Amino acid sequence: MEQYTIKLHQINQSLTDTRFLKIENLYAYQFEKIGVIGNNGTGKTTLLNMITQPSVVEKGSVDVKEEIQYFKQIDTPENIEINTLDGSILSELQLPMAEIGKMSGGEKAKYKLATVISNYSPILLLDEPTNHLDYASVDYLIQTLKFYYGTLIIVSHDRDLLDEVVDTIWDIQNDGTIRVFKGNYSQYERQLGLENMEKQRQYDNYINEKKRLAHASDNKRKKAQQIQTASAKHKSKSMSPDRLSGSKQKDTVEKATQKQAKHIEKRMAQLEKIEKPQAENQFQFPHSKIYDVHNHYPIVAQDLNIIKEGNDILSHARFQIPYAKNIAIIGENGSGKTSLFETIYQRDPSIDCSPKIEMAYYQQLSYQDMYDVPLLQYLIEKTGATSSFARAILNNLGLNEALDRSCVDLSGGERTKLSLAILFSTKANMLILDEPTNFLDIKTITALEQFMNKYPGIILFTSHDSNFIKNVADRKWQIKNKAVFDIT
C-alpha cells in the first residue's frame, strides 16, 4: 500500500472575508511530484504554509510524516541574505563567488534556491522557484527536480517545468476546493478538455431529448384537439345510433391521445436536469488608444555604454528598435537586462529617441508600492478613470468580488495583475516590461499574451518563461559579452 507523507483533513481556511480554502481529504505520497496551480488569490501559498506550519490551520488538521525543506516565494530578491554554499552547486548554477553587494536580484535568488536544493529532505516544497531565474538556471532546476527522491510539491506558472517534472496536478478551484489530476500539465489540459467536451455532449443530448419530447407532446395535444373538434361537430347534429357510436369512439381516442401527451410530459419532467457548461471568464487587460509613430525605427543606439557601480554592463552596443514589434531581451542574471531598460526609459543622451515615443515602464516588483486603500479607489486614483470604467477593468481581471478589499491584502499575482492593468490604461505607444509574468497564474499569462499580440506599438520585455517568449516575441535579442545580439 502506498504510503502518504502529507495528509490534509477537513480543512476550512480563510483567505479573505469571502474566500476560503476547503479540503475534505488530500494526500501527497512518497516519490510523488505535484504541481499546484490555480488562479491568483485562490490560496496556493497558503496551502504550502499550512503544510509547513500546521499550527496556522484554523479548522481541520495537517499530518506531515517527514522532514520538510521549503523554498518560499521571493518578493524582493535584492534583500536575500546569502550563506556560503558548496562550490559544485555554484558551478552548476553558473554562480560566481562574487561580492554580495554586486549581485543582481536574480543572482541572489539563485543562491537562495541552491541553498534549499543542496540540503536534502524527504519532502521539498517550492513556491514559484523560477521567478527571477535566467534560462540556464531554470533548465538546471528542471533537470535536478526530475531526479529528486522524495515528495515534491511545486507552485509554479512555468508550463515547461510542470510538463517536465510533475506527475500529479492539484488544481485549486475558485470555490476553494482542490481537484486532483494524474499526469503533467499538458495531460491535465487534455483531461480537462475531454471533460468539458463530455459535459457539452451530455448537455446537448439533454436539450435535444427535451425538444424531442416537447415536440411529441405538442403533436399529441394537437391531434387530441383535432379529434375533440371533429367530435363536437358530430354531436351538434342529430345523430343516428351508428353515428353516435362513432362519436363515442372518437372520445375514447381523444382521451387516449391526451393520456399519451401527459405521459410524454411526465417523462420530460423526469429527465435529469443538466446545466449548461459555463465558459470560464477570460481575463482581459484594458486597451487604450495610442499615438501612432510612422518612423520605422524610432529608437536607435549607435554607441551605447552602460556602467553600473564601476562595472561595464554594455560597451559600444548598437541596436535599432523597430516600431510595432514585440522584442524579448534575454541573457543571464546580471547581464544587464534591467540596466538596459532603465537606460532606454530615461532617454539616455547616447540613444536617439523619437519625440513621438511615449513610454510606460513595468519594473520588477513595482506592485510593492501599493498602499492601504480599496481596490476601486486605488485604480481610480492611478488612472483617473471613472468609477464605471474602473469597475469594468476590475471585472475583466477577475478582481471584482470585493471592490472594497485593500490593495495590501491582495496576493502577489493579484497585485501584479492590477499594476499591469494600470500601466496598460495609459496612452503610451511603447511598453517596457521587466519580468511581467512573475507571480501571475497561467490563465492571466495567457491573457497577457493576447494583449501583447494585439498591442500596436513597441513592447520591450524580458521573461524567464520560454513558452511566453515563444508566444509573443517577434524578435529575440540577447545580451552577451557586453553587447546586444539579434538571435531571432
Per-residue cell: 5: 507523507
- What amino acid is encoded at 14 in this protein? S
Q: Exposed, middle or buried, 30 (CB in 10 Å: 0-12/13-18/19+)? A: middle
Q: Parse the chain into domains and list their residue ranges.
A: 4-183, 193-270, 299-486
pLDDT at 35: 97
Angle between helices 442-454 and 412-424 (to 10 degrees): 10
4-183 falls under which CATH superfamily? Answer: P-loop containing nucleotide triphosphate hydrolases (3.40.50.300)
Q: What value, to the nearest 5°, has the Cα angle with vertex 80 and ends 103 and 370? A: 105
State residue 463's pLDDT score: 92
182 three-state secondary structure: strand
What's the whole-model pTM score?
A: 0.79
The reported pLDDT for the residue numbered 201 is 92
Nearest-CA neighbor of 422 among 467, 344, 353, 369?
A: 369
Angle at 422 between CA 420 and CA 428, to 5 degrees: 90
* Residue with the three cell numbers 543622451: 349
Tally Cβ neighbours within 10 Å of residue 318: 12
How many other C-beta atoms lie within 10 A of the C-beta of residue 119? 10
CA distances from 397 to 78, 91, 482 (A): 29, 42, 39
Are both 4-183 and 299-486 of the same fold? Answer: yes
Mean pLDDT by 10 residues, the chain (488 residues): 90 89 96 95 94 92 94 69 55 54 70 81 94 84 92 95 97 94 96 91 89 84 77 61 55 77 83 81 80 90 87 90 95 89 94 94 81 89 87 84 82 88 90 92 91 94 92 95 90
Quote the CA–CA distance of 137 and 192 in Å, as a whole number: 31
Rounded distance between C-alpha atoms, residue 36 and residue 64, angstroms: 18
Cβ pair 108, 76 in contact under 8 A: no
The superfamily (CATH) of domain 299-486 is P-loop containing nucleotide triphosphate hydrolases (3.40.50.300)
Q: Mention every residue, 6+ apart, whose C-beta is less than 8 A from residue 63.
A: 6, 7, 8, 9, 54
C-alpha cell at 250: 372518437
Q: How many whole angstroms separate alpha carbon 456 and alpha carbon 470? A: 18
Q: What is the pLDDT of residue 41?
A: 87
> Quick one: 337 exposed, middle or buried, by C-beta within 10 A (0-12, 13-18, 19+)?
buried
Other C-beta atoms closer than 10 Å to the C-beta of 422 total 20
